[in-house]
C-alpha cells in the first residue's frame, strides 16, 4: 500500500527521457543483493511449478494407506515427508506452486493487464468524467473489507457448481471440471479488487505523458487515439505498470491461499497451499507432525516475501527521492 502511494506521488519524476528506464532499473536490481536473492527464489519456484510433472519426484495424488507410510517425517525418499494419506508432500507442494502460478497469472492478466492497465490508460489519457468515475469507484472499492466480500461471493457460488461440474464431467474436462469451476469462482471474486492499485499507477503516468511534447506532436500529425496510446503512451507506462503488479503479486496469491485454507477455494485432491497448510494447522497436529505445516507454509511464505522484497526494491529504485546517487 505504501508502495503504491510512493509510486503515485512521483510518477512524473520517474521518467527521464534521456535514459532507458528499463536498463537503469535492471542494472540497479542486479546491484541489490536481497532483490537478487528474491529473483533467484522466484525462478526456482516458477520453474518447479511450471514443469511440475517433470520435477515432482512422486505422483502428488498417489496414496499409500499403510500405517508406516503415513505422516512420515522427511527422509531421502520423501524430502518433505508424507501427509495423512501417505502422499509425498514435496510433490504436493510442487503442484500447489503450479496452482498458485496459474491463479496469479489468471488474475494478473484479467484484473491487472485488462482492467488495471486498460482502465488506467483510459482514465489518464481521456480524463474528464471517465477518469472521475474510474478513480472514485476504485477509491471506494479499495477501502472495503475485501476478504469478507470475497468470502460471501465465493461461498454463494460454490453451492451452485455441483450440478454444473457433473454436467461438465462428461466433456473433455473430466475430473478437472470441478477444480476449473472453483478456480473460475475465486478468480472472479479477486478480479474486482485486483485492478485498483495498478490502474492508479498507470493513470498518473498516462496523465503526465499526455502532456509530453512527443505525444502532442503525434496528435498534431493526426495520429489516431489508438496509435497514440499503443505507440507513445504504452511504452512509457509499462515499466511502472510492472512495478505496480510486482508490488501487488503477494496480495493476489495470498487471496487464493486464504480462501482455499477456509475451504472456499480449490478443494482437494487438487493441491493448493491453502489446503496443504490447513492439513497441518492446529496446535495438536503441529505438536505431533510439525513437518505438515512447515513443508506447506515455508515455500509459499518465501514466495510472498520474495515478491514483496522485489516490489520494495523496484519502488526504491524508481523513486528519485529514495535513491542516493
Say whether residue 149 binds other proteins (CB under 8 A): yes
Nearest approach in angstroms of CB 149 to other proteins is 6
Nearest approach in angstroms of CB 78 to other proteins is 21
Query: What angle (nearest 5°) sits at the alpha carbon of residue 88, between those of residues 286 and 296?
Result: 40
- Which position among 48, 99, 137, 248 is part of the footprint of other proteins (CB under 8 A)? 137
- Contact range with other proteins by CB under 8 A, out of 23-31, 46-54, 229-237, 274-282: 274-282
Encoded one letter per residue, x for contact with other proteins by CB under 8 A and - for no contact, window 27-56 reads -----x-x----------------------
Size of the site for other proteins (CB under 8 A): 60
Within the chain, residue ranges assigned H as helices are 2-9, 11-14, 21-31, 33-50, 52-55, 89-107, 118-121, 128-142, 146-158, 161-169, 176-194, 196-210, 213-220, 225-227, 234-261, 273-280, 283-288, 290-318
Widest distance between CA atoms in the chain: 77
The C-alpha R_g of the chain, in whole angstroms, comes to 22
- Which position among 16, 20, 77, 139 is part of the footprint of other proteins (CB under 8 A)? 139
Pick the closer one to other proteins by CB: 28 or 285: 285
Pick the closer one to other proteins by CB: 30 or 152: 152
Pick the closer one to other proteins by CB: 145 or 174: 145
Calpha distance 123→61 (Å, rounded)? 47
Nearest approach in angstroms of CB 35 to other proteins is 9
Calpha distance 302→170 (Å, rounded)? 39
Sites for other proteins among residues 103-122 (CB under 8 A): none
* 3-state SS, residue 71: coil
Query: What's the grid cell of residue 48?
Result: 518447479
Can you tell me which residue has the cell 460471501?
A: 152
Nearest approach in angstroms of CB 127 to other proteins is 8
Nearest approach in angstroms of CB 64 to other proteins is 26
Sites for other proteins among residues 232-251 (CB under 8 A): 250
Say whether residue 297 binds other proteins (CB under 8 A): yes
C-beta separation of 248 from 113 below 8 A = no
Calpha distance 132→187 (Å, rounded)? 27
Distances (CA, A) of 236 to 9, 44, 181: 17, 30, 37
Encoded one letter per residue, x for contact with other proteins by CB under 8 A and - for no contact, window 252-271 reads --x--xx--xxxx-------
Encoded one letter per residue, x for contact with other proteins by CB under 8 A and - for no contact, window 163-202 reads ----------------------------------------
- Which position among 76, 159, 172, 213 is part of the footprint of other proteins (CB under 8 A)? 159
Q: How is residue 324 annotated by DSSP?
A: -
C-beta separation of 86 from 164 below 8 A = no
- Which position among 128, 145, 174, 222 is part of the footprint of other proteins (CB under 8 A)? 145
Phi-psi map region of 136: left, alpha, beta (phi>0 left; psi -120 to 50 alpha):
alpha
Distances (CA, A) of 325 to 24, 28, 36, 83: 13, 11, 20, 52
Say whether residue 276 binds other proteins (CB under 8 A): no
Which residues form the interface with other proteins (CB under 8 A)? 1-3, 5-6, 32, 34, 136-137, 139-141, 143-149, 151-153, 155-157, 159-160, 204, 207-208, 250, 254, 257-258, 261-264, 277-278, 280-283, 285-287, 293, 297, 301-302, 304-305, 308-309, 312, 319, 321-322, 324
Amino acid at each position: 500500500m505504501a508502495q503504491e502511494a510512493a509510486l503515485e506521488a512521483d510518477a512524473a519524476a520517474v521518467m527521464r527521457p534521456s535514459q532507458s528506464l528499463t536498463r537503469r532499473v535492471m542494472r540497479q536490481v542486479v546491484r541489490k543483493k536481497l532483490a537478487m536473492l528474491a529473483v533467484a527464489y522466484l525462478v526456482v519456484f516458477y520453474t518447479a511449478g511450471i514443469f511440475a510433472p517433470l520435477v515432482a519426484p512422486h505422483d502428488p495424488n498417489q496414496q499409500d494407506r499403510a500405517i508406516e507410510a503415513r505422516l512420515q517425517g522427511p527422509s531421502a525418499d520423501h524430502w518433505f515427508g508424507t501427509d495423512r494419506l501417505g502422499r509425498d508432500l514435496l510433490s504436493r507442494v510442487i503442484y500447489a506452486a503450479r496452482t498458485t502460478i496459474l491463479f496469479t497469472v489468471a488474475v494478473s492478466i484479467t484484473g491487472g493487464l485488462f482492467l488495471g492497465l486498460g482502465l488506467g490508460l483510459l482514465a489518464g489519457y481521456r480524463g474528464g468524467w471517465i477518469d472521475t468515475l474510474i478513480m472514485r469507484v476504485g477509491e471506494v472499492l479499495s477501502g472495503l473489507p475485501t476478504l469478507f466480500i470475497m468470502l460471501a461471493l465465493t461461498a454463494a457460488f460454490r453451492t451452485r457448481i455441483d450440478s454444473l461440474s457433473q454436467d461438465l464431467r462428461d466433456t473433455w474436462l473430466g475430473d478437472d471440471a470441478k477444480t476449473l469451476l472453483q478456480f473460475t469462482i475465486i478468480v472472479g471474486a479477486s478480479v474486482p479488487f485486483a485492478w485498483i492499485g495498478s490502474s492508479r499507477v498507470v493513470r498518473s503516468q498516462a496523465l503526465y505523458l499526455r502532456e509530453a511534447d512527443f505525444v502532442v506532436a503525434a496528435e498534431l500529425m493526426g495520429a489516431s487515439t489508438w496509435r497514440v496510446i499503443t505507440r507513445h503512451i504504452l511504452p512509457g507506462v509499462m515499466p511502472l505498470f510492472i512495478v505496480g503488479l510486482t508490488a501487488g503479486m503477494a496480495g493476489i496469491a495470498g487471496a487464493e491461499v486464504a480462501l482455499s485454507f477456509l475451504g472456499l477455494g480449490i478443494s482437494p485432491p487438487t493441491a493448493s497451499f491453502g489446503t496443504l497448510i490447513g492439513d497441518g494447522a492446529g496446535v495438536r497436529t503441529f505438536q505431533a507432525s510439525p513437518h505438515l505445516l512447515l513443508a506447506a507454509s515455508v515455500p509459499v511464505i518465501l514466495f510472498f516475501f520474495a515478491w514483496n522484497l522485489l516490489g520494495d526494491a523496484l519502488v526504491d529504485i524508481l523513486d528519485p527521492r529514495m535513491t542516493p546517487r
